[in-house]
Amino acid sequence: MVKMSIIGVTRAAVFRFLLTEWRGRLRIAGMFHKIKWLFISVAILLFIFLVLFLIFPDRLPRRVPGDIEDNRFLLDTVVSIKLYQSGRKDVLDEAFTLIESYENQLSRHKSGSEISRINTAEAGMPTAVSDTTRGLIKTALKYAEISGSSFDPTVAPLVDLWGIGSENPRIPTDAEIADVLPLVDYTSVVIDDDAGTVMMGKNGMALDLGGIAKGWIADRVGEFLIRNGEEHFLINLGGNVLVHGGKPGKKGNSAFKIGVQNPFEKRGLYLGFFTLDEGSVVSSGIYERYFESGGIRYHHILSTKDGYPVENDLAAVTILSKKSVDGDALSTTVFILGLDAGMKLVLSLEGIEAALVTRKGEVVLTPGAEEIFEKR
């Protein structure tokens, strides 16, 4: 009887063991089954995500990149470029490389530049230059004509005579000025597009595109950034400002605020601000480059009529335009013309607005400029 009980208990134990082992194996098999389907599900989701990314790349959530900015000394000034929500340093570096290449092409102070070769050629000898250089010279000559030669790209001999902005500025004699004034003559520049050449009509003549080149270069850099997908940026070429796309923020885009320098105060003290999403702001004035002698300030904006720094009722001019090249040429032109003639010229041009600061500190605005000006 006892023997039968032991056998029964043993059989029961073996049965329970086998049952437990079977359940364990089933449980493990179930886990492997679940894991297998988990991997399959993840693979399917990744495949779907990849397909959606290829078909609708702009619809998928993505991390917003940060802003990136750099400052370098080019074009004889501090150049600043800021790309908003970009983070693409390669594009930023290429933009500065582009500026440097234009400087090497258009600066009269760069040995071997196309402008330098034109200036050192004998009168009557054509110099072969690129379409780019000829195009910029033609634009400069257009503004010389519009301004009645107040703006003149052949002003280089006069600029060199004064040396304002150099280490050794000086007041030239009346005789010295009289000698170089005949060389300031934009009508003696001959452009031959068929031959691809530029020629100076008088020995001693020389081009200086400093009054227009920065604006032109700003436009080219802006075009480059847009081609490379940049949607929000600010370019500042030593006071030639070009903005695009508004300033992005958490609550959407806002307008850029561009300061109007107080010409009677140190740098960074503003009379007010222009607010704009798109376009160019360029300023010229008595505060930019100058030297003092005998208690008199001699600034760098020279009259092509008498050869001296311009003396009129204006202290500064700010031009708003779509293209920075227009603002660059017009800021100098309007300053030379003075308040009344300068304002008349601005009002005759489509798409141009201005703020003219008088010697008395009054800010005179065109109607369009008044709408976006915030007085400080």
Listed in sequence order, the residues at least 6 apart from 272 whose beta carbon sits closer than 8 Å to its beta carbon are 259, 260, 363, 373, 374, 375, 376
Given a contact cutoff of 8 angstroms between Cβ atoms, the answer to whether 309 and 165 are in contact is no
Which residues are 355's β-sheet partners?
318, 365
Q: What pLDDT score does 249 carry?
A: 84
Q: Looking at 3-17, 247-261, 345-359, which range is the least confident one?
A: 3-17
Evaluate if residue 65 carries a pLDDT over 80: no
**How far, CA to CA in Å, does 311 sit from each of 119, 185, 338, 344?**
29, 21, 9, 19
Q: What is the mean pLDDT of residues 111-123?
A: 97
CA dist., res. 124 & res. 70, Å (int): 43
Q: Looking at 2-11, 42-51, 63-72, 137-146, which range is the least confident one?
A: 2-11
Evaluate if residue 317 carries a pLDDT over 50: yes
Higher pLDDT, 47 or 216: 216
DSSP for 174-210 reads HHHHHHHGGG--GGGEEEETTTTEEEESSTT-----T
Summary mean pLDDT of the chain: 89
Q: Over the stretch 259-309, which tens digit does the pLDDT of each residue have? A: 999 999 998 899 999 999 999 999 999 998 999 999 999 999 999 999 999
Evaluate if residue 6 carries a pLDDT over 50: no
DSSP for 104-158 reads HHH-TTSTT-HHHHHHHSPTT--EE--HHHHHHHHHHHHHHHHTTTSS-TT-HHH
Given a contact cutoff of 8 angstroms between Cβ atoms, the answer to whether 122 and 133 are in contact is no
Higher pLDDT, 31 or 371: 371
Q: What pLDDT score does 21 carry?
A: 57
pLDDT interval class at 29 (50, 70, 90): low
